Amino acid sequence: MYTDTKQFEVETLDIPISKIKVINRMRRTDENRIADLAQSIEGIGLLSQIIVAKKDECYLLLAGLHRLEAFKLLKKQFIPARIYEAPDLICKLIEVEENLVRSELNAIQTAEHIIAREELLIKLGRKAVVGSNQYTDEKITNEELASQMNLSRRVYQYKKSVANLNPEVKDILCETDHARNIMNMVKLQKLPDHLQLEIANLLVSGKCKTFRRAWVVAHMKHKQDRWNDNIQQTKDELGIPKSVMKWDRKKDELNDICYLVSHNEEARIKKITGQFGTNVINNYTMMPEQSRWFVKYFSKEGDLVCDNFFGRGTNLIASAYEGRRVLGWDLSKLNCDLVRNACVENTCINADNLTLHNSCGVEMVEFQASSNIIDLFLNDIPYIYGAEDYGNDPRDLCNHKDLASFNERVERCLINMKRLVKPSNWEKKIFKPIIMKVGSSRRNSAGLVDMATEIEIIARKVGLVLHDKIINELRSSFQSYNVGRCIENRYTVKSHETNLVFLKYESSS
């Protein structure tokens, strides 16, 4: 029975089977059980009457569907029944049951009927509720309700979850074809109310023809609501950070300060001479805007930025210009003097916040007893195979022309940088990176050696995590000189470099 019906009982008598209406038509029956019951009834009679509710000129079956089917199997015209007057809850349940078997219900209507059905069954004392012992009490479970609708429990829960839609969204979409797509409605009900309403209004207004389009437009419109002031400011200042970046030279003050060093005749180093000795191509220097972007994106004012291979000092000058403390190493005393003068005389950096060492940037012996002090390493080490000549100092990476020897020195450098850089914390979104700008080089039939691949392997070996890769367009004069050789050997002109971003997390040793 659906409830305690003693208060409604009228009488017990034999009633015509033809006048019995099965209200729960979705319930499955067991043919074997019906056959066994029929055999038992034929032998000893019906031991327990069915239960019905009288409504108008018919009887609504409340309990005993298998017994009723057994009597039909035996071709009997009447069946013993206990008869009750049908209460309002039963009438409402009948209406819900009848509607649920109608194929024209959309996802929203189906969900509302499922919820109404469960609520009615709970009021009638027939459905288990959270915290009750559904098995001891012999009450209907969601799994059984799902089975009655020929659904798995999972699909039943999907259909039911649509009822969680914002009430206004239900009203907007209920009479539209969009409400017929159950999975779209399931996705929609998981969203915050403001996004649900935005999507619904986009659909009914015709501004978006498809659910997918409305979903994207609504999320894009409200995306900035999740941004804090720092994220918005960073985007406004630096643009959208992309995996492939292109920086244009700006004719501004920072560019002029860097120019003082990069174009100093004593500091410039010739790379190659073309066109019968009339066209000199010098070693490539960092673009100030590229340096400034990395400094501002990965550090804040007052942070300590280190370039342990600073050369003409573009990274350090940009750091000083943007209010960072500066630490650097270079094997050229001239470079040290020029960069120091450029920073002190043309930026607002305090001399106490500027430390340049005329020594080896691999070993960094001046800080061999220190650890966790640097906020950002930003460097551009020499290319492999001695592609660039910076002098005769054996400590200089450009003089380690054997790949194994070069990588050995890089590993030593990474170990020292890892020790000195501050740890990062993913949960707190604290990132203190080591950023290395690297390229590639060829050795004829030995093929292409990508420094990024070599250094990634070494970094993983020493316990650093590759956080990101950022490709930047390379604008070197050497490209024009190299075109003919590239075409002759059927490979492409190298027009990019890779910025590897490594992190040391707090758990790293």
Q: DSSP string of 236-251?
A: HHH----SEE------
90: region left, alpha or beta (phi > 0 left; psi from -120 to 50 alpha): alpha
pLDDT at 10: 63
Q: Of the ranges 87-101, 113-127, 364-378, which one carries the lowest mean pLDDT score?
A: 87-101
CB 57 within 8 A of CB 93: no
- Unique residue bearing structure tokens 């298998």: 66
* Interval 334-358 mean pLDDT: 96
Opening angle at CA 430, ends 233 and 372, nearest 5: 130
* Interval 83-99 mean pLDDT: 69
Domain holding 54: CATH number? Answer: 3.90.1530.10
Query: Cα separation of 428 and 430, whole Å?
Result: 5
Question: 285 versus 153: which is more confidently predicted?
Answer: 153
Q: Which residue, among 47, 57, 46, has the nearest Cα to 16 in the 3D structure?
A: 57
Question: 228 versus 508: which is more confidently predicted?
Answer: 228
Residue 186 has pLDDT above 50, yes or no: yes
CB 421 within 8 A of CB 432: yes
* Interval 298-307 mean pLDDT: 97
Residue 222 falls inside a structural domain: no
Residue 323 falls inside a structural domain: yes
Residue 157 falls inside a structural domain: no
* Interval 430-457 mean pLDDT: 93
Handedness of CA 138, 143, 147, 148 (dihedral sign): positive
Residue 412 three-state SS: helix
Residue 308 falls inside a structural domain: yes
Of 86, 121, 140, the one marking the end of a domain is: 86
pLDDT tens sequence across 399-437 = 998 999 999 999 999 999 999 999 999 999 999 999 999
Residue 241 falls inside a structural domain: no
Query: Cα separation of 357 and 332, whole Å?
Result: 10
Domain holding 347: CATH number? Answer: 3.40.50.150
pLDDT at 299: 97
What share of the chain has pLDDT > 70, as a percent?
86
Q: pTM for the whole thing?
A: 0.58
Query: Cα separation of 20 and 172, whole Å?
Result: 40
Q: What does residue 422 show for φ and ψ, rounded to 5 degrees? A: -70, 150
Residue 218 falls inside a structural domain: no
Mean per-residue pLDDT over the chain, rounded? 86
CB 325 within 8 A of CB 305: yes
Q: Which residues span the domain enclosing 46?
A: 6-86
Distances from the Cα of 120 to the Cα of 88, 89, 93, 108, angstroms: 10, 7, 6, 19
Question: 94 versus 124: which is more confidently predicted?
Answer: 124
Q: Which residue, among 299, 292, 282, has the nearest Cα to 257 in the 3D structure?
A: 292
pLDDT at 273: 44
Distances from the Cα of 436 to the Cα of 51, 324, 356, 378, angstroms: 82, 19, 19, 6
Overall number of domains in the chain = 2
| DSSP string computed for 91-139 | HHHHHHHHHHT-TT--HHHHHHHHHHHHHHHHHTT-B--TTS-TTTTTP
Query: Cα separation of 144 and 127, whole Å?
Result: 10
Handedness of CA 276, 280, 283, 288 (dihedral sign): negative
Give whichever of 92-106, 143-157, 267-281, 294-308 has the largest mean pLDDT. 294-308
Residue 96 falls inside a structural domain: no
Of the pLDDT bands very low, low, confident and very high (cuts 50, 70, 90), residue 26 is very low
Residues 6+ apart with CB under 8 A from 190: none
Which helix (H) or strand (E) segment holds residue 216: the answer is helix 211-222
Residue 379 has pLDDT above 90, yes or no: yes
Distances from the Cα of 289 to the Cα of 28, 253, 260, 363, 475, angstroms: 73, 11, 16, 29, 13
Query: Cα separation of 289 and 351, whole Å?
Result: 24
Residue 306 has pLDDT above 60, yes or no: yes
* Interval 284-292 mean pLDDT: 86
* Interval 388-397 mean pLDDT: 84
Residue 448 falls inside a structural domain: yes
Which helix (H) or strand (E) segment holds residue 281: the answer is strand 279-282
Of the pLDDT bands very low, low, confident and very high (cuts 50, 70, 90), residue 101 is low
Of 86, 105, 128, the one marking the end of a domain is: 86
Residue 301's identity, in one-letter code, is E
Residue 329 has pLDDT above 80, yes or no: yes
Burial class, 285, CB count within 10 angstroms (exposed 0-12 / middle 13-18 / buried 19+) = buried
Render the burial of 449-479: b for 16+ CB within 10 Å, e for the rest. Answer: bebbebbbebbeebebeebeebebebebebe
Of 86, 115, 136, the one marking the end of a domain is: 86
